[in-house]
Amino acid sequence: MIVTLKDGSKKEYSEAMSVIDIAKDISEGLARNACAGEIDGKVVDLRTVVSEDCNLNILTFNDEAGKKAYWHTTSHVLAEAVKRLYPDAKLTIGPSIDEGFYYDFDCPAFDRAALDNLEAEMKKIIKEGASLERFELPREEAIKFMEDRGEPYKVELINDLPEDAVISFYRQGDFVDLCAGPHLMSTKAIKAVKLTASSAAYWRGNSNNKVLTRIYGISFTKNDDLKAYLEHLEDIKRRDHNKLGREMELFTTVDVIGQGLPLIMPKGERIIRTLQRWIEDEEDSRGYVRTKTPLMAKSDLYKISGHWDHYKDGMFVLGDEEKDKEVFALRPMTCPFQYYVYKASQKSYRDLPLRYGETSTLFRNEDSGEMHGLTRVRQFTISEGHLIVRPDQMVKEFKDCIALAQYCLRTLGVEEDVTYHLSRWDPANPGNKYIGKPEVWEDTEQHIRNVLNELKIPFVEDIGEAAFYGPKVDINAKNVYGKEDTMITIQWDALLAEQFDMYYIDEKGDKVRPYIIHRTSMGCYERTLAWLIEKYAGMFPTWLCPEQVRVLPISDKYADYADSVAAKIREHKIYVEADHRAEKLGYKIRDARLARVPYILVVGEKEQETGVVSVRSRFLGDEGQKPLEQFINDICEEIRTKAIRKIEVTE
């Protein structure tokens, strides 16, 4: 047989060989680092026997699938450690995940001390270096095997496997686990391990099932890599908006108000207000006209739009259709309201495009398990807009919406942090979620595909993620924990104009249906604030800071001068405070740094006599003395241009 390797080279063998033996034939070093194999694109165990011509790739920890096998093996080591120290614990599942692994056990919760003990036991198991051996059993034997070992969850998993499934196990020493693999050849290949957390989890993710104890962990081939990862975790904690935003007094939540209903505090409101004014001014300069529409409407409106049939479970409904004459719902979107603004008067082809913008407060009945800080809430505000356009204007206007979104991302300094997605309908499920004919969907999706390709924007396609009335471009970003959220959406809608009987009069005097673009320019203000907190670890660009300058008199003698400095700065609409607390100067400087104020101005006798300020910034540290007017001119220019300065002085 001929085996073609990743680099195109070929190996010829006269008899069948396992993947690990082929790896050894290539090089002993490769075999030592091998985690799994890939035969003709399918990930396989290292023990898999190759018996015919194929393409073979030996996967190491540097490959994504190799990492998965490495982490999956480590989860088995964890399970063995738990069974050694807690023999009554019952095994459930222990997969690899995007970063590391977890294993769920039916047993009491583990505190940090218990995790440390388990970690020490895992290191003993790894040092013992037991080989992992794969074996298979017929269904009835497999069930009895796990029943005899007192593992009811494994029995349930076996019973749920298809009749023709291969039921495989892996043995390492005295420990055996039901598993499809792939796995490393031996536990000794694991060089560095850390158990990172423990939490509760429902069996099979179903809230009606028993609550289990989940342990998360990670492992690496080098101690230095583990150290770097743990430092990364600390950075995540430092940046987590849910923690940092509260510490900075940007927002808070209160149980009696409700989950997913954050209170934006004065500092947070100041940031959101700055963003909102910027977005509204920018949209105005691009030809948008603004509307202000109700926060609720009768169910009749949502029945016309289709939201009542397709989105009712995600809405807050006020009233009962069987009992009440009128039933209202808080709006989950603004589009049908703006359609009636359009329909208030007859439009000519010369009136289009019409670009409606609104800073919209919306309400969505998110599941309680999805709530998180500012990223997933039940009431939020977005930079919403709807463009009513002629079909011949659609491509240009769609491109302009993308250009506006990219301008916003670039200005906020997050342009490199996003991915683009073409969210498509699912042709296999047209009746349950989507309206319109297949040819309309195929045509509009191709238009978006063409636009993205023409703009040279890399994108992925997500089937089933479209809105029920049209495909869209979703611009997504990951939070510090790696979870991806949609930040900006631009939708192509060729269907709803008909449902709302929207039209314009063309040059021939005929009624014609317009197209509609649903879009956000920056997205949800709350989610964007969370994104920026994590991006900048609270050290926002100066133009976004809720406090941009703090003036510190070195003693009470210079309090009046400090106030006069603050007053002159405030005249230029700069957020400035003077700190007159009876504290030492060093303390007040440290406090200003902890508050992430970009500029600290120290004033005393010399500064008062010469009309200057001593400038300390988080960008350059001690910048020395500057005339007050020069400082004001400099910071005004920084704010005007929305500059993002490199931070060289850690706070």
Q: Annotate 526-563 with three-state secondary structure.
A: HHHHHHHHHHHCCCCCHHHCCCCEEEEECCHHHHHHHH
CA–CA distance, 255 with 32 (Å, rounded to integer): 54
CA–CA distance, 8 with 587 (Å, rounded to integer): 65
The pairing of strands 379-389 and 251-252 is unpaired
CA–CA distance, 489 with 421 (Å, rounded to integer): 10
The pair of structure tokens assigned to 107 is 């047993």
Annotated binding-site residue? 386: yes
CA–CA distance, 554 with 583 (Å, rounded to integer): 10
Annotated binding-site residue? 447: no
CA–CA distance, 268 with 252 (Å, rounded to integer): 10
- Write the burial class of residue 335 (CB in 10 Å: 0-12 exposed, 13-18 middle, 19+ buried): buried
Bridge partners of residue 550, in order along the sequence: 577, 600
CA–CA distance, 5 with 496 (Å, rounded to integer): 53
Question: Are 569 and 576 spatial neighbours (Cβ–Cβ below 8 Å)?
Answer: yes
Element spanning 237, H or E: helix 223-239
CA Rg value for the chain: 31
DSSP 147-173: HHTT-HHHHHHHHTS-TT---EEEEET
Rounded to the nearest 10°, the torsion over CA 505, 507, 512, 515 is: -100
Question: Are 368 and 333 spatial neighbours (Cβ–Cβ below 8 Å)?
Answer: no
The pairing of strands 418-424 and 459-463 is parallel
Annotated binding-site residue? 335: yes
DSSP 563-607: HHHHHHHHTTT--EEE---SS-HHHHHHHHHHTT-SEEEEE-HHH
Q: How far apart are the first and last CA of the chain?
A: 63
Element spanning 406, H or E: helix 394-412
The pair of structure tokens assigned to 139 is 């269904």
Question: Are 191 and 185 spatial neighbours (Cβ–Cβ below 8 Å)?
Answer: no
CA–CA distance, 609 with 650 (Å, rounded to integer): 32
Q: What's the sign of the alpha-carbon dihedral 104, 108, 113, 114?
A: negative
* Known binding-site residue numbers for Zn(2+): 335, 386, 518
* Known binding-site residue numbers: 335, 386, 518
